[in-house]
Structure 1
């Protein structure tokens, strides 16, 4: 698939250089369209599934997950996987792009994971505040400390990815 359009352009008489760039642009456009469609579909399916699940349970926790947008962040995993899988095919003729863009995608994956964890932690914070036994506990402080360590580790991980 990666050289499909390239072969068509060569058959049509375009120069090799032009065919390589046009092939990359078409594959990139296809990837962008797939990413937007998959993000929209995944987000709608996950949000609906969470709403259906939340209506069927008595607990407040799943409602809080929805309120803190956890399904939205989880839905972003689908387009990320599509980009990670299609990227080597799309830019197969441009090896100089491969490493920098791969690093950017890995950093985005780390940040997305941190956003998901932050959303879950905020959900836990809100949930614990609804429990009478925990009303006098400094839940906010505990969650802040966990988030601080989580962000430090995440930023360190991003730094390692960027610097190699």
Structure 2
């Protein structure tokens, strides 16, 4: 009540030229509003400063990290932004309880409070998401998509409530009236709706997780998933570039997820060597004796020769006999070298097989699984296998097919 003093004498003394009582009354009201706002902001500043220092001290002493995250997201600071509008609204009701325009000012204050409250809720959601991401389960089931959807609902609810406050209608009636604009709203929030639906499908079916290696040629994405949100999935490619893929495209388009390989006991090696068909022949006795000296092939040759001798009894034509070929013995050699390789997982499928002959020779495919999955080490394991096989092929009198070079 003390603020409602008569300021006409002050206007006269300051020689402001305000002699009309109505004008003086309006100016008086405006000055009083300014004074109330200043007092509210000063009061809020002092209360916030003192309280935040106390809260910060308590947070630093606790062992839990939750309150630290809330402090880093400035949740407590933002809560104190509610003090000025609440203080001003309370002061207006006391000073201008019967003022004609008090209701209009009250509506502005309510809108102010709603905006600040929505801002606080968004900060709380960000803090909750950060807390959740600190746990390992967040890599398999991130909640950022759901947090962003809740943010959209919060912002929409704040906007609808503010509009209903100013027009003096119930938010329910306003929502009913907005039904006519449903098509427009669907168009505006198309990406958000598609992203939300896709996010639910991705997370519920565990199609993609943070840290997965995915390949999506249509979007030039080939790397590790960094983030999954409402609108996009961020992928860091192997050249360290970042590709953003619309979330809904991971449901509507095809992509490859290498998580199954990373979670398995091995990484597949499937590569072939093209053998020159003209170099394939039956082994002579001299060649058999030479290959028998190998510790890798000794047991196989000594076991197979009596079997062949028994099967070839009474057969004098070479076309009727079953004989060892250099390519067949080389296949057996390759299989045994794979079995002796400690870097391969022999509990998984492995074989050395011939593929359909082509104009570039006979493809001899090596199919096995490396125990080591890390990219660089995996490539070394694979290269070591083929380095050795290519180097020993001449001992079997086999040639690799390649186009002749011009010297």
* TM-score interval (norm. to shorter): 0.7 to 0.9
Q: Is structure 2 residue 83 aligned with structure 1 residue 81?
A: no
What do the CA deviations read for 1:100-136 (whole angstroms, capped 9, x no partner)?
2221111111111101101100000111100123332
**Structure 2: 5+ residue stretches without partners:** 13-18, 169-407
Contact residue 133 and residue 142 of structure 2 kept, 8 A: no
Q: TM-score, normalised by structure 1?
A: 0.83
Report the RMSD for the aligned CA atoms in angstroms: 2.6
Aligned to 1:28: 33
Structure 1 residues 115, 73: CA separation in 2 closer, same or farther (over 3 Å shift)? same
The total of aligned residue pairs comes to: 161
- The Cα of 1:83 is off from its aligned counterpart by 0.7
Partner of 2:115: 111
Bigger Cα Rg: 2
Structure with larger RCO (C-alpha < 8 A, sep 6+): 1
List runs of 5+ in structure 1 lacking aligned partners. none
Note the C-alpha offset of 1:161. 0.8
> Aligned with 1:59: secondary structure?
coil
Richer in strand (by share): 2
- Quick one: structure 1 residues 3 and 9, their matched pair in 2 at CA, closer, same or farther if it must change by over 3 Å? farther
Which residue of 1 is the match for residue 249 of structure 2? Answer: none
Q: With the length of structure 2 as denominator, give the TM-score of the two structures.
A: 0.36
Between Structure 1 and Structure 2, the one with more helix by share is 1
Counterpart Cα distance in 2 of 1:94 and 1:20 = 12
Change in Cα spacing, 1:150 to 1:93, as seen in structure 2 (3 Å) is closer
TM-fit CA distance, 1:28: 2.1
Q: Which residue of 1 aligns with 2:141?
A: 137
- Seen in structure 2, the aligned counterparts of structure 1 residues 151 and 26 have a Cα distance that, compared at 3 Å, is closer
